Amino acid sequence: MQEIKTDLLVIGAGSGGLSVAAGAVQMGASVVLLEGHKMGGDCLNFGCVPSKALIASGKAAYAQSHAAQYGVANVTPDVDYAAAKDHVADVIAQIEPVDSQERFEGLGVRVIREFGEFISPKQVKAGDHLITARRVVIATGSSPFVPPIPGLDTVPYDTNETIFDLREKPDHLLIIGGGPIGMEMAQAHRRLGCDVTVIEGAKVLGQDDPELAQVVIDQFKAEGIGIEESAMASEIRGKAGAIEVEAKDGRIFKGTHLLMAVGRKANTDRLNLDAAGIETTKRGIKVDTSMRTTNRRVYAIGDVAGGLQFTHMAGYHAGLIIRQALLGLPAKERTDHVPWATYTDPEIAHVGLTEEAARKEHGGNLDVVRFHYTHNDRAIAERKTDGLIKVMVVRGRPVGASIAGAQAGELINLWAFILANGFKMKHVANMVAPYPTLGEINKRVAGAYFSPKLFDNPMVKRVVGFVQRWLP
């Protein structure tokens, strides 16, 4: 057994762990990084990167069959599903070097390709290595949650960890789960020529603002994607190429392939957390607002910490750890400024409080201001007028923003910046946006907030009238 002593041990080479390791080693700390599976973690290999690449393939196919509105003849796209997957693999390959073992070893990180297991509150075993670290960061991420539905163990199914390896185009893809993963994959596969049915036990996009979710649902139905809500799966049966999902209410859905997309579970099984005195919850590892576990030497970040499950959240957590473990400075997590987006077409994005949450928290002090894409000239020019933005405002200060429409994931960045820095609507109104851009939507919604205060205010009109009488 080889013994290693280090300043910082990072368990997991996903986005959060890599960010901590890179930052720490470049600031002068000795760092050991453990990864028993793939460098880059879920985001690079099975999540954000491959899904967005497949979505891009779907958009290209959809554009060919919906070009007539631009004066270009529609054509039926000749989709090569296997080639689309080659595109996905190529995108991953282009990004891989940034997350590679070679790059991190070049930075000075000692990379050990083994899973880590606590054997005491201060020591971790990884293969034939015994590691003692001043601080430990657990960044092991999450995996697909597969519920124990009767019959599921007898039929072939995919998760986000296997769907991108599928080479033969499904004739009819059944997707259990109408959250972001399920909905993104539903639209991508429909545009690549598959029949698709989404089976959701409650409401699709149930964590999103219902008004905005409806914008996406309407588009899905227009594209021929089956949306089956309140359809809790009770039994699955069949074989490869002929699968049936039966809901508790008796509805039966038939398809050739099955994708399970019902949620995520924290990766804690291999860690032997009890040996380190680290407590867990139903969602993951128990942490305080500083991301510290019940073992004060150990932090947990990203999905495994049981909070918001976004790659950018793990990156944010990494910054908190660098501040504390490397610089000895206090740092506490906040989530009110963290945006999230679902990359359907149209996209849907949020930051801060939704309208429902804001009404509960702020009551009569809340103003909800809206602006529709139909009034944006760039959206009109590009035939992308389905969508709206709404901003929740309390005494002139935004407390949340929600967008459904083209490039919502890009437009939400401004509101994340506003909320992170405590700015007000006047700061957005003062911005000059280039014309014509979708970005004008953000400025116009600020204008919609101030317009009633200026144009429908009798006092303003009296002041203007007085000034006009006295001006030379």
pLDDT band at 454 (very low <50, low <70, confident <90, very high): low
Cα–Cα dist 303/438, whole Å: 32
Q: Is 36 helix (H, G, I), strand (E, B) or coil?
A: coil
CATH 3.50.50.60 for domain 152-262, yes or no, is yes
* pLDDT value at 88 more than 70: yes
Structure tokens belonging to residue 357:
């949450």
- Cα separation of 390 and 354, whole Å? 9
Residue 284 CB partners (closer than 8 Å, separation 6+): 142, 266, 268, 300, 303, 304, 305, 306, 307
182 is in an annotated binding site: yes
Q: What percent of the chain has pLDDT over 70?
A: 99
What is the distance between the alpha carbons of residues 469 and 466, in angstroms, rounded to a whole number? 5
Gyration radius from the chain CA atoms: 25
The pLDDT confidence band at residue 25, using thresholds 50, 70 and 90, is very high
Kindly indicate the confidence band of residue 305, based on its pLDDT and cuts at 50, 70 and 90: very high
Q: Is 181 annotated as a binding residue?
A: yes
Superfamily holding 2-39+100-144+265-326 = FAD/NAD(P)-binding domain (3.50.50.60)
Tell whether residue 142 is among the known ligand binding residues: yes
Average pLDDT, rounded, for the chain: 96
- Residues above pLDDT 90, as percent of the chain: 94
Give yes or no for a contact between 351 and 337, defined as CB atoms under 8 angstroms apart.
yes
Asked whether residue 263 is marked as a ligand-binding residue, the answer is yes
Q: Tokens 């405590």 identify what position?
A: 422
The ranges assigned to domains in the chain are 2-39+100-144+265-326, 152-262, 340-455
Domains 152-262 and 340-455 share a fold: no
Is 217 labeled as ligand-binding? Answer: no
pLDDT in tens, 362-410: 999 999 999 999 999 999 999 999 999 999 999 999 999 999 999 999 9
pLDDT top residue among 117 and 462 = 117
Q: Is 203 annotated as a binding residue?
A: no
Read off the pLDDT of each residue in 120-141 and give the average, rounded to a whole number: 97
CATH architecture of 340-455: 2-Layer Sandwich (3.30)
Annotation-wise, does 178 bind a ligand? yes
Q: Report which of 305, 347, 297, 351 is spatially closest to residue 324, judged by C-alpha positions.
A: 297
| Poorest-pLDDT segment among 135-144, 165-174, 325-334 | 325-334
Residue 40 has pLDDT above 90, yes or no: yes
Query: What is the model's pTM?
Result: 0.94
User: Residue 276 corresponds to which tokens in the numbers above?
Assistant: 């380190």
CA-to-CA distance for 101 and 113, rounded, in angstroms? Answer: 9
Say how far apart CA 253 and CA 198 lie, in whole Å: 10
**40 annotated as belonging to a binding site for a ligand:** no
